[in-house]
Structure 1
């Protein structure tokens, strides 16, 4: 395990605690020595310009400055220098973006100041990662490139593009350097046009996947890449059946790709319409058409088997009234993602594993057993994490609502889970709504008339009309203490 990985484990563990812990207790939990704990704490605090993120007190031990931690965690700039994982991911991204062209090894590594041995080690590691997508790495003298069919390149790119939280043009131009600001503005407009045609906000993580796909599309054509019409993964009969079954989504996809053709001054092939359709049908889209849900026998059977298997192994009680409806809505696009080999990244995975470790492990065993039976393969931890949230919400369920607005990056399961946890911790609070920052902006005047407080899992870098407090999406003990303190201050005004 690298320093960066152990550092994150240390910070995540301390974020779950609401008092001081001795170095011995921490060392035992993380399975490292007391001396290593002291060294890590010192480096973490130095990386924060000695603005102590971890507070130490003789005779008591260590405690995380939780407010600073939330700020640092929400800030896209890293506390430390590039980790080996970050370095390899950036190099891999550059190679995929330029495929099939070769790039100078010196250019790839110039900003990292690493030795020849490290360069060779990184390229060997990248070769093993790309082999999973049937993409090969080609080295010639001091140049290196990658080769594979276009669909494989796109899938790998989607796995390694920088992760973002929401589709906000201002933040994207600042933190997401995949496109220039003009192309970015165009992609944002096209993404929002999908939501308008669906008459719905697309929730996380599907919004990020669709948006990233569109960014990759425009980047590839900007680089002069031509998509061949004989892609081996392109099943003509399967394509026709999918289009017929999803006529309205295909209309949206066709219109969007035509817009991209006009913008780029280059007619894009019909495959692009189908590629985008795959992402649409692999996402949980909320629109009027979902008032009459249509699920295959396979979707229903797998959903019920998961619930039954988890219930058989979980000792506590789980409310299944809403669980079945919510989970089946998640499983339907999940099966499409498996079929289309579409990867989703779960930025909350470390928090989910920490906060709901028991439920996560039970869900993982149950889901993988069922997916091996049906598909001959296990599911990624990212996907397991999303499924876990539905069970965690069911476990946390109940408590009547008692005025706050909860603000999240538009999410699947996570926003509703946060709502339930706030209910449970503060039953006297009346929760008016759960919204994204974009939704709040559109209707801020009305919201501000109804609410007294905003509880947000995203950093609000702008003035909002009411007092607000930043919390983690898992709403742990530290978050509860901070909310309780703010409520007390508001009541005493």
Structure 2
């Protein structure tokens, strides 16, 4: 049995306490009456078949925690959805049914929430719809959204962007009211498009195209898509895009014909152009990787990115080596900006955690470039993808660290330490191996040549102007970690 919101709140409250609570205490905490508390406790115990909450006269109520945990698999103690997730799910259902109305009971009954919560959710949804120039319609117990078809689809796509998967096979449970027939059809069409392209459609572009096709299928199933007064004619620039991408437009046309046959409905020609937008905004491995395959806009933007990011991170980047890979990414990136297509980067939290400084530098550089050239900043998701290209470059071309090794005595020990350091860290260039006295005799000259010092002796204040790592002559695991930390700091 599933429990309502207030029952779950009582359970949650008692689960955080290991002492008895009176009905008045619980009522005060949850802003309900003591009589209501007594009734809810009775409902909770009856729903589980055995007492989950015990009562003692004069003390109040206490949760039998083991019984509570045992019942978690059988009874829905807590909601599977956070308020944000719940509102997003409801918003999507409203949008997919628009302009038709849907009963509020069917929208909210799976979440077991109270009337005040429903009103708050609908107020939040109304505000979110307004951002897309859509209106929330409420008529008695019915709810819906009204506005242009283009605005409805944009709102759906923005809401669907929460999908957190990199695998097309995991998408079936991500959409409301999906059915296996439609999912199989969309999968087949994605494979067919890839076959006609002669290229796979990689993540995240495949997720975007899949989402668009799913929305297209569902919107046409509603029976009312475009209103009579909506302008479906393509403008001059859109017709030019078609003329410049005839092969991709033919692939888009083939798909729309297949969809028309699958749904047994006439699909508007404008849908071909919308599919084309996604194709030209995706990175395809069949794209020409040579410079003459890219426009001057793509080449110039790529060079600007390399130069600006190089300045931000303070490292000279060999543009020839990274330029080839970036060109293939920048071309669809420009198309996404022009077509206002957003992509989701599931790796973004990992990128921010693994390359925090690099990510900040890339974001600062790209914001300047794109604000000046396109009047907008790149999304964090897009910045994350660009960061990966430069992270890869830096991993392949680590900055060479210039190091001095200082030992007390023993040429053999010193040379052995040098060999061990360079074997573990090939990016380290050992300038020299010296005694402390040799270093002190020409300290200033040596300090100009090096980044830090590795030494086997506790030199006290003799070395005061460079970072020093004190190590064992055998260069242990702890020593390696200390040097690795210094190199990471240098990055």
Shorter-chain TM-score bucket reads 0.5 to 0.7
Preserved contact between residue 289 and residue 324 of structure 2 (Cα < 8 Å)? no
1:164 positional shift: 3.4
Q: Deviations over 1:255-285 (max 9, x none)?
A: 1100111111112110111111111111111
**Whole-Å Cα distance in 2 between the matches of residues 130 and 301 of structure 1?**
38
Report the CA distance between 1:369 and its aligned residue.
1.5
Structure-1 residue corresponding to 2:311: 312
SS of 2:373's partner is helix
Alignment partner, residue 117 of structure 1 = 116
Note if contact 1:103-1:145 (Cα within 8 Å) is conserved in structure 2. yes
Taking structure 1 as the reference length, what is the TM-score of the superposition?
0.61
Distance 1:381 1:355 in 2: 15
Q: 1:378 to 1:117 in 2, by over 3 A?
A: farther
Equivalences for residues 192-203 of structure 1 within 5 A: 192-203=191-202
**Counterpart-to-counterpart distance in 2, 1:80 and 1:355:** 33
- Counterparts in 2 of 1:378-457, with a 5 A limit? 378-397=377-396
Aligned residue number for residue 126 of structure 1: 125
Residue 351 of structure 1, CA deviation: 1.1
Residue 168 of structure 2: aligned partner:
167
Change (3 A) 1:310 1:198: same
Matched residues in 2 for 1:200 and 1:107: separation? 43
Q: Is contact 1:281–1:336 with CA below 8 Å preserved after alignment?
A: yes
CA distance in 1, matches of 2:251, 2:311: 43
8 A contact 1:99–1:145 mirrored in 2:
yes
Give the CA deviation at 1:391.
1.3
Query: 2:180: which partner in 1?
Result: 181
Output one character per residue of 1:1-59: Cα deviation in whole Å (capped at 9) or x when no partner. Answer: xxxxxxxxxxxxxxxxxxxxxxxxxxxxxxxxxxxxxxxxxxxxx9xx89xxxxxxxxx
For residues 331-350 of structure 1, give each alpha carbon's deviation from its aligned partner in whole angstroms, at most 9, with x where no partner exists.
Answer: 21111111111111111111
Seen in structure 2, the aligned counterparts of structure 1 residues 178 and 368 have a Cα distance that, compared at 3 Å, is farther
Matched, 1:359 2:358: yes
Once the two structures are superposed, residues 325-384 of structure 1 have per-residue CA deviations (whole angstroms, 9 ceiling, x without a partner) of: 222221211111111111111111111111111111111111111111122222211111
Partners of 2:186 and 2:173 lie apart in 1 by 15
The alignment's C-alpha RMSD in Å is 2.8
Measured after TM superposition, the shift of residue 180 of structure 1 is: 1.1
Change (3 A) 1:234 1:165: farther
- SS of the residue corresponding to residue 81 of structure 1 reads coil
Please report how far the alpha carbon of residue 247 of structure 1 lies from its aligned counterpart in structure 2 after TM superposition. 0.2
Q: Which residue of 2 aligns with 1:214?
A: 213
Question: Which residue number in structure 2 is paired with residue 254 of structure 1?
Answer: 253
Task: State the TM-score, normalized to the length of structure 2.
Answer: 0.61
Q: Measure the CA separation in 2 of the matches of 1:309 and 1:233.
A: 41
Aligned to 1:374: 373
Secondary structure at the aligned position of 1:179 is classed as coil
CA contact (8 A) 1:310 1:366 kept: yes
- Offset of residue 398 of structure 1: 5.2
* Partner secondary structure for residue 307 of structure 1: helix
1:145-190 superposed Cα distances (whole Å, 9 cap, x missing partner): 122221222222122224432233xx44466555311111111111
With over 3 angstroms needed to count, the CA separation of the structure-2 counterparts of 1:155 and 1:320, relative to structure 1, is: same
How far did 1:303 drift? 2.0
Change (3 A) 1:314 1:198: same
Structure 1 residues 129 and 317: CA distance shift in structure 2, 3 A: farther
Structure 2 counterpart SS, 1:286: coil
1:10-29 matches, within 5 Å, as none
Superposed CA deviations along residues 170-227 of structure 1, whole A, max 9, x for unmatched, are x444665553111111111111001111111111000111111111111111122333
- CA deviation after TM superposition for structure 1 residue 80, in Å: 7.9
Q: Which has the higher contact order (CA 8 A, sep 6+)?
A: 1
C-alpha contact (below 8 Å) 2:291/2:299 kept by paired residues: no
Offset, 1:124: 2.6
Q: Which residue of 1 aligns with 2:238?
A: 239
Q: For 1:118-159, what per-residue CA distance to the aligned partner results, in whole angstroms no more than 9, with x for missing partners? A: 323322322333333222222333322122221222222122
Partner SS for 1:111: helix
Structure 1 pair 200–244 and aligned structure 2 pair: CA distance change class (3 A): same
Aligned-pair CA distance for 1:103: 2.0
**Residues 317 and 395, structure 1, Cα contact 8 Å, conserved in 2:** no
